[in-house]
Amino acid sequence: MKLEHFRFETDADGIATLTWDSPNRSMNVITVQVMDELEKAVAHVAATDAIKGCVITSGKETFSGGADLAMLQGLGAEYQKRAKADGPEQAMSFFFDASRRLSQIYRELETCGKPFAAAVHGTCLGGAFELALSCQFRVVSDDEKTRVGLPEIKVGLFPGAGGTQRVARMMPTGDALQMLFRGDQIKPAQAKGMGLVHAVVARDALIQTAKDWLKANPAAKQPWDTEGYRLPSNKVHSAPGMMIWPPANAIYRRETQDNYPAAKAVLAAVYEGLQLPIDQGLRVESRYFAKILRSPQAAHMIRSLFLSKGELEKGARRPAGAPANSFKTVGVIGAGFMGAGIAYVTALAGMKVVLLDRDMAAAEKGKAHSHKIVSDQIAKGRAKSADRDVLLERITPTADYNDLKGCDLIVEAVFEDRAVKAEVIRNVQAVIGKDVIFASNTSTLPITSLAENFARPKQFIGIHFFSPVDKMLLVEVILGKKTGDKALAAALDYVRAIRKTPIVVNDTRGFFANRCVLNYLSEGHRMLIEGVPAAMIENAGKMAGMPVGPLSLTDEVAIDLAWKITQATLKDLGPQAVEPALVDLLDELVVKLERFGRKNKKGFYDYQPGQPKRLWPGLKDLQKVHLDPDAIDVEELKQRLLVCQALEAAKTVEEKVIVDVREADVGSILGFGFAPWSGGTLSYIDGMGAQAFVALCKKLAAKHGPRFKPNRLLVDMAKKGETFYGRFNPYKKAA
């Protein structure tokens, strides 16, 4: 048997080992060729009398991340092509067959008459874990790195190669639904507890354990193929079976707001599939899978959250030919809220950090933040005290600029004050080497003007983190007018080293993310002023797909910060720049009532210890009008909350603040949680079409004011029927 992606050998006992080791790839991925070869190998095992059973394992450091999502996305393009050429019916028939092929191969493996065992080390996710699930025996290594799971839901898909059917036949339905909804990567011991794997052993005992089991169980069958099999939660239409569905539907609604068709398909596939024998259940799953794979939500989520995100992380915006940078020591100036977080993520990535503040006590306090983060992890069993020692060892607190000598990169996070920053920049410059890049974490001051304080403005750049630094995945890299390629490459290499996702943004007020998200906050404030009940505003935000409502988010960011930004805008751009009613609302909350948000436990919400936060009842008194809730168009509230952000993103493209559309999409989801179902701010517009979006903007502008007026770029795109990914095709530029 000739195979390229697998090695195949049979031992003296007739136990075969199929070792997956795709050439020229660091990780095994399921492609069409892999499917072809797997099918061939299964047929060979089935047809060869001398083979008693087969172990499937990986020849790489990790098992496999699952199916090639680009291949799945390609199927959608193929469908479109065929639909045009042969009509939708034939195209759909092709699509259905192609999208269920993996499911059929796995079922063939499971029923071919010979037992299979999966021996797993490292990550085994998605389609790869579905392969393991179709094996009669699953053993995983007890290694730190080993994880199993079905994370498809995170990119708008669901497990379509038997995952929904097998998992729901292995464990109580409620647990199965939870696992499928969450898409978590599960550690070995927990996987065993859930019944997803049979054994956890040392890595070097994996193959032997699998072989021993196969030898002892030559006629093994899956439970659902065995006579007398009963569903773990009994029949769907039994009394205990039916208990599950009302709460399951409610949880689905609460968690998704009905924005994610894939999650609904999981519910349907499990509900319908469990009422059928497994073969028909798998067919039902395949039907839903084909439907979801063709949904715009899946296409846009795969594009932004998997493909584009990966491309940006691997350096899609890195200047070609710039030599790679590796950083041994990073100087972090300012050990406050942000600086302390930056020091932590830098040390976590293995770099040394010189953490400088005005005095030793402040610098030590910044270092203590890292101590606290790791101690919390230790308390949860996620880290060992040795990890904390190693990490803390890397951070040197100081108040002496001379300690910055020898740093390869500087990241500044001192007070947001021009004069303070200017002085710090001069002090740093006096001690660092000539080639060192200086990065500022400013959130509002233009990089171009800060760079004027630095003798080598080509080496000056913005690296804008989001808070909390250890949790937020996005970093904005800001180019000043004079920033050079070397600085950009260095910033991107650093962001990569700390394992975050970068977007590159040209210098402008608010950069990209804050510019968009501030509109979300203000639109919520406007609704309050108009007389919309606060709870309705918050719910509209969540229903639109935002992680939290605009009032809640203002509390998290801090209302006094919103007030400060508004004051700065008024000062810089004049009194017309912000509507008086918005200024008055923030004045009232911040100046008069001292309601600053979560930070002083008083904001749009009240925060009582040990109790869930509650909307502050006094908000009603701040409203001069109270609209009748039944007369309010909730759909329009949702539209306003998303359109104000998407329109701002479109403006950043027109102004060339954003030059790669992938960055607006990825940045909006990772930076401020913009409705992930849409694939991001620009995909939201592409999803409905520029024409429909412009019409919606015009309707909203007529009713609510010129802030919704579509910009020139959008009007032009609507006229020409263009999309962002068509007009600004990021791949064309790269080619």
Contact 467, 338 (CB under 8 A): yes
CB of 371 to ligand NAD, least distance (A): 16
DSSP-derived secondary structure for 56-99: EEESSSS-B--B-HHHHHHHHHHHHHHHHHH-HHHHHHHHHHHH
Which one of residues 30, 176, 362, 540 is an interface residue with ligand NAD (CB under 6 A)? Answer: 362
Interaction of residue 517 with ligand NAD, rule CB under 6 A: no
Strands 605-606, 614-615: parallel, antiparallel or unpaired by DSSP?
Answer: antiparallel
| Cα dihedral 519→522→524→525 (10° resolution) | 180
Q: Which is nearer to ligand NAD, 414 or 489 (CB)?
A: 414
Catalytic residue, candidates 412, 476, 648, 663: 476
Interaction of residue 358 with ligand NAD, rule CB under 6 A: yes
Q: Which is nearer to ligand NAD, 128 or 356 (CB)?
A: 356
Give the residue closest to ligand NAD by C-beta: 336
Span near ligand NAD by CB under 6 A; candidates 89-97, 460-468, 687-695, 701-709:
460-468
Q: Which is nearer to ligand NAD, 167 or 428 (CB)?
A: 428
Catalytic residue, candidates 134, 514, 668, 683: 514
DSSP-derived secondary structure for 554-570: HHHH-HHHHHHHHHHHH
Q: Tell me, what DSSP letter sits at residue 324?
A: P
DSSP-derived secondary structure for 600-628: GTBSSEE--TTS--EE-TTHHHH-S----
Angle at 671 between CA 351 and CA 610, to 5 degrees: 90
Question: Can 514 be counted among the known catalytic residues?
Answer: yes
Find how far residue 176's CA is from the centre of its chain: 22
Catalytic residue, candidates 300, 369, 464, 525: 464
Question: Can 476 be counted among the known catalytic residues?
Answer: yes
What x/- string results for residues 428 through 447 when contact with ligand NAD is judged by CB under 6 A? Answer: -------------xxx----
φ/ψ of 615, rounded to 5, equals: -60, 135
Q: Which is nearer to ligand NAD, 141 or 440 (CB)?
A: 440
Span near ligand NAD by CB under 6 A; candidates 124-132, 381-389, 414-422, 446-454:
414-422
Catalytic residue, candidates 28, 58, 443, 678: 443
Which one of residues 465, 494, 520, 563 is an interface residue with ligand NAD (CB under 6 A)? Answer: 465
Q: Which is nearer to ligand NAD, 517 or 649 (CB)?
A: 517
Interaction of residue 731 with ligand NAD, rule CB under 6 A: no
Interaction of residue 415 with ligand NAD, rule CB under 6 A: yes
Interaction of residue 424 with ligand NAD, rule CB under 6 A: yes
Residues from 325 through 344 that contact ligand NAD (CB under 6 A)? 333-339
Q: Which residue from 175, 40, 58, 643 is spatially nearest to 167, judged by alpha carbons?
A: 175
CB of 464 to ligand NAD, least distance (A): 6
- Under DSSP, is residue 535 helix (H, G, I), strand (E, B) or coil? helix
Q: What gap in Å lies between CA 326 and CA 349, rounded to an integer?
A: 12
Going through 325-436 in order, the beta strands assigned E by DSSP cover 329-333, 352-356, 395-398, 409-412
Strands 460-465, 409-412: parallel, antiparallel or unpaired by DSSP?
Answer: unpaired
CB of 442 to ligand NAD, least distance (A): 4
Beta-carbon neighbour count of residue 534 at 10 Å? 22
Is the peptide bond between 159 and the residue preceding it cis, with omega within 30 degrees of 0? no
Q: Which is nearer to ligand NAD, 78 or 364 (CB)?
A: 364
Find how far residue 467's CA is from the centre of its chain: 16
Q: What gap in Å lies between CA 202 and CA 359, rounded to an integer?
A: 49
Number of residues counted as binding ligand NAD (CB under 6 A)? 24
Q: Give the strands of the sheet with 352-356, arranged side by side.
A: 395-398, 352-356, 329-333, 409-412, 437-440, 460-465, 474-479, 501-506
Interaction of residue 80 with ligand NAD, rule CB under 6 A: no
CB of 520 to ligand NAD, least distance (A): 16
Span near ligand NAD by CB under 6 A; candidates 98-106, 417-425, 594-602, 613-621:
417-425
Interaction of residue 420 with ligand NAD, rule CB under 6 A: yes
Q: Which is nearer to ligand NAD, 425 or 544 (CB)?
A: 425
Span near ligand NAD by CB under 6 A; candidates 161-169, 211-219, 355-363, 522-530:
355-363
Interaction of residue 108 with ligand NAD, rule CB under 6 A: no
Q: Which is nearer to ligand NAD, 332 or 685 (CB)?
A: 332
Strands 15-20, 6-10: parallel, antiparallel or unpaired by DSSP?
Answer: antiparallel
CB of 606 to ligand NAD, least distance (A): 23
Q: Which is nearer to ligand NAD, 229 or 415 (CB)?
A: 415
DSSP-derived secondary structure for 647-713: HHHHHHHHTTSB-SHHHHHHHHHHHH---GGGTSHHHHHHHH-HHHHHHHHHHHHHHH-GGGPPPHH
Phi-psi region of 397 (alpha: psi -120 to 50; beta: other; left: phi over 0): beta
CB of 318 to ligand NAD, least distance (A): 23
Site of interaction with ligand NAD (CB under 6 A): 333-339, 356-358, 362, 413-416, 420, 423-424, 441-443, 464-465, 467
Please identify every residue annotated as catalytic.
443, 464, 476, 514
